[in-house]
Amino acid sequence: MSPGGRGGRGGRGGFGGFGGRGGFGGFQRTAPWEHNLGGCESGFTVPDPTDPDIVWATCYANEVSRWDARTGLARAVSPWIHTLDFAPDQAKYRCHWTPPLAIDPFDHNTVYYGCQVIFKTTNGGQSWSVISPDLSTQDPSRIVSSGGLVGDNLGQFAGEVVFAIAPSPIQRGLIWAGTNDGKVWYTRDGGAHWNDVTQNVHMPAWGTVRQISPSVFDPGTAYMAVDYHLMDDRDPFIYKTTDYGKTWTKISDALPHGGPLDYVMSVVENPNRQGMLFAGTGHAFYYSMDDGTHWTHFQGGLPAAPVTWIVVPKLWHDVVVSTYGRGIWIMHDITRLEQKDRMPVDAAVYFYAPRPGWRLARSGNAEFLFHLRSAPKDSVELEISDSRGAVIRTMRQAGRAGDNMMQWNLQYDEPVQVALRTVAPDNPYIWDEARFKGKDT
């Protein structure tokens, strides 16, 4: 993996986010980042999935912004007044330092934002509606001012608020939500009715629901990371349901525990392989090939930092993570990891199913990975055919024992230069001259 751009100082981030939460072989650096896209040092930063010119962001004090690359401006579209230094028990809406934001997978104009309730907009933030009740425990003993000589009620310590919002990518209207006081909810009708499934989890009280990952394979399945380190419990907690929250199974027992940074901060399902999961703890990154029964630690250049958010872009077969301290890391092309257990042990040659190749402006490529049991005597030849079976490109390179890669620039073989020889009437013996004889011209 490699470090990407820098985000904010301690938020959760989200995909491409400011700060924290939010080729297989290692994580790698990304290009420099553009600044001033809205939001601030905390919160989420979420690009519109269908319009790359639009970026949503959140911040403390109930701040929501919408940036438009066409104007270069970030416009404040918060659903209520900014609550700088508002004590939680004096504000109409209690919003965290890193308030969650999510875009509906079925309608990019529908955006959800969480305080102690969940807001929804369908018109770019021009107006908002509340689509949930107060989803917290509503314990008045925890809805209090931060205290101190000078009040600093910016949401860092705000309890009783929504901390995770996760619309299902395969069932319209299904939205999961979790709070930082241990409540878990879902709605199947876009927010008209909410179901409290907290008691079904059988987890300790007062956990922070860090991330919920709805399955891309089954609408009733979801994964949930719950963090108890603020309750001085540093063990990992990941739960899975397959029946819309009626029952839950703890799937994190195989992760290391007993250490001060073993608590889980993020979990996500691989959309390209059912049962393959990724999880981030307070100091490490793990993957599982069997739905959490076993976990494998993977570092690959990633520092021992809190892994605060994980995204797996389906088409790219990459893994993108954010780390506390403004780090964004990308592990490119995990097809080998996804398919490693499918390669026959005695196979002389194994060709990994390739991820899609992309043609970009004046560039683009497709990568082909294959495994050789032993190094060949001659070079390896790869032929690429079109949809009719005609060979359009032939590539050759030396092979080695183990994994190999060939990269195709998406171009056809160069045309063969046609050689034409005509007899000059005034010099019929020109081709017998030394400068031409026996040579291609």
Q: Please check whether residue 57 is in contact with residue 18, taking contact to mean a CB–CB distance below 8 angstroms.
A: yes
b (16+ CB within 10 A) / e for 237-246 = bbbbbeebbe
> Any idea which of 72-76, 332-336, 361-365 has the lowest mean pLDDT?
361-365
- Most confidently predicted of 6-10, 60-64, 283-287: 283-287
pLDDT of 418 reads: 62
Please give the radius of gyration of the chain, using alpha carbons only, rounded to the nearest integer. Answer: 27
- CB–CB of 364/333 below 8 Å? no
Segment 271-287 shows an average pLDDT of 98
Query: Domain residues of the chain, as ranges?
Result: 32-273, 345-440
Percent of the chain surpassing pLDDT 70: 91
Alpha carbon distance 39, 10 (integer Å): 13
* From the candidate CATH numbers 2.130.10.10, 2.30.38.10, 3.40.50.10860, 3.40.50.300, the one assigned to the domain spanning 32-273: 2.130.10.10
pLDDT tops 90 at residue 8: no
Percent of the chain surpassing pLDDT 90: 73
**Cα→Cα distances 28→68, 120, 331, 418, Å:** 28, 36, 6, 45
pLDDT at 18 over 80: no
Of residues 143 and 131, more confidence is placed in: 131
Paired tokens of 175: 């939205």
Selection from 378, 377, 365, 362 nearest residue 405 by Cα: 365
Q: What was the pLDDT predicted at 41?
A: 85
Q: Which CATH topology does 345-440 take?
A: Immunoglobulin-like (2.60.40)
If one counts every other C-beta atom within 10 angstroms of the C-beta of residue 350, the result is 15
The dihedral through the CA atoms of 128, 130, 135, 140 has a sign that is: positive
Residue whose structure tokens are 């190749």? 357
For residues 386-413, average pLDDT:
95
Q: How far apart are the first and last CA of the chain?
A: 51
Among the listed ranges 107-121, 231-245, 256-270, 401-415, which one has the minimum average pLDDT value? 401-415
- Write out the two tokens for 47: 């690009």
Return mean pLDDT, the chain: 90
In SS3 terms, 47-67 reads as ECCCCCCEEEEEECCCEEEEE
Q: Cα–Cα distance between 64 and 78 in angstroms, integer?
A: 5
Around Cβ 439, how many Cβ atoms within 10 Å?
8
Residues 6+ apart with CB under 8 A from 282: 229, 234, 260, 261, 262, 263, 265, 306
d(Cα 39, Cα 45) in Å, to the nearest integer?
7
Q: What does the pLDDT look like over 201-221, one tens digit per residue?
A: 999 999 999 999 999 999 999
Largest CA distance in the chain: 108
- State how far the Cα of 33 lies from the Cα of 310, in Å rounded to an integer: 19
How far out from the chain centre does Cα 66 lie? 20
Q: Which two tokens mark 247?
A: 């029952």
- Would you say residue 21 has pLDDT above 70? no
**What are the backbone dihedrals phi and psi of residue 214, each rounded to the nearest 5 degrees, phi first?**
-65, 140
Task: Give the model's pLDDT for residue 269.
Answer: 98
Query: Looking at residues 271-285, what average pLDDT do you find?
Result: 98
Per-residue pLDDT, 145? 86
Query: Which pair of structure tokens corresponds to residue 298?
Result: 């993977």
Who's near 346: CB < 8 A, 6+ residues apart?
A: 373
